[in-house]
Amino acid sequence: MDDGMQWLAGTILSAVISSVITVGFLSALVTRLQIRIDHRNNGIKRVYAPGEHSRTLKKQLAEARAIQLLALSGYGFTHAYRRILTDCVARGGTVEYLLAQPGTAYMKDAAEIEGRGADSISEEVGETLKLLEAIRRDAAEKAGKQKAEPGRVLVRYFHTEMREQLILCTDQSGRRTAWLSLLIPPLPALECNMIEYRDAEDCVDYYEAVKRRSEPCPVAVPGRMHGKD
């Protein structure tokens, strides 16, 4: 093959390779755009890989005037964000939890699926209540130093079989955002993929539906933490 034919063959081959790469790139781009469009249609802002959500979620929690949590025990969330929860209550905000009723067959099944002792998640609920009482106490002390009125810590028990952890944040303007953990046992909720919703309406409706069927949580300090709202 002479030099001219080699040059022509090389040019054609380069063009074919370039076309394949371009088509592949455009296909991937279209797929990503389609996913984003689908997410927007579903009110989803972003899906986070494990651990990637922490900075964004932390910022929203820190700016919230109301934080609501629907979870089995809520222990990991409460432990991870204790300072932020305390600050929220100290400046007059509300922290409200809907936790699964401890000691039920459902809680035992959930614990066994996670490869833990049958009563482990129920016991975690007790530890969460202790943390929340400490948060309430610390927030009251902090607010007192600033001669301000602290907010509220409310806890209720639900009975529906809801495993995914749902977090609702309401900012100072009243705008609400929602975070849903895609729970895959035995991983804890904060180590699973999380969905951030741009439109929290459906999540809020579900939370309120569960709340209507919940009941006040009896705690060691009656009247301070259980919610009638």
Q: What is the mean pLDDT of residues 195-201?
A: 89
pLDDT score, position 177: 94
The string of pLDDT tens digits covering residues 111-142 is: 888 778 888 889 999 999 999 999 999 999 99
- What is the Cβ-side half-sphere exposure of residue 49, based on CA atoms within 13 angstroms? 0
Q: What is the mean pLDDT of the chain?
A: 81
What share of the chain has pLDDT > 90, as a percent? Answer: 49
- Nearest one of 76, 73, 66, 220 to 134, comparing CA atoms: 220
Cα angle for residues 174, 54, 63 (degrees, 5° grid): 25
Domain boundaries, the chain: 3-41, 46-216
pLDDT tier, 14 (very low <50, low <70, confident <90, very high otherwise): low
Topology at the third CATH level for domain 46-216: Endonuclease; Chain A (3.30.870)
pLDDT score, position 223: 41
